[in-house]
Amino acid sequence: MDLGEWVTFEQEWAELRAAAAERTAMRINSVPADGGGGGGSGGGGNDLVVRRDDLGAIGNDAYDLLGRLTKDGDIARSSTFDAATALTNGNFVSGAAVLKVHDFWQTHLKTLLDACAQISNHLDYSKAQHAKDEAKIEGDLARISVLTEYME
């Protein structure tokens, strides 16, 4: 990967982060601009807004990045290792330095791949957990509303 590709990656990553932040904006303890009510299952205006589609989109972006990094991040591994071996066998001091670069890249690539996988997995988990939490809260609120009717 040359410096130009790295800059492109950095720009693309910054754009993805900004888009994700925009898509997953939360409103806490506020009333929606359309004048909807507060929390509750029937009011339509929730205090905490999490859109499962947004979580899925971010998870898909992380998964796609993982796939691209897995493929593209490994392109130069074998040729770099072969060059380090050839230089070392030819009694060039730079062979050890090239091998260090190879090992350094592999270590950091693995770290980045692990991070992308964790992000993807965590967002998939969060999406599923949010759906379960939402169903439980709606069920709990339905029981409370029935009790409120009896107390009136």
Per-residue model confidence as pLDDT tens digits over 9-55: 777 877 887 777 776 554 444 444 554 444 444 444 445 555 667 77
Give me the pLDDT at residue 84, please: 94
Packed helices 52-72 and 94-151: angle between N→C axes, nearest 10 degrees = 170
Please give the model's pTM, rounded to 2 decimal places. Answer: 0.50
User: Which of 59, 134, 72, 84 has its CA nearest to residue 109?
Assistant: 72
| Arithmetic mean of pLDDT, 67-82 | 89
Number of domains in the chain: 1
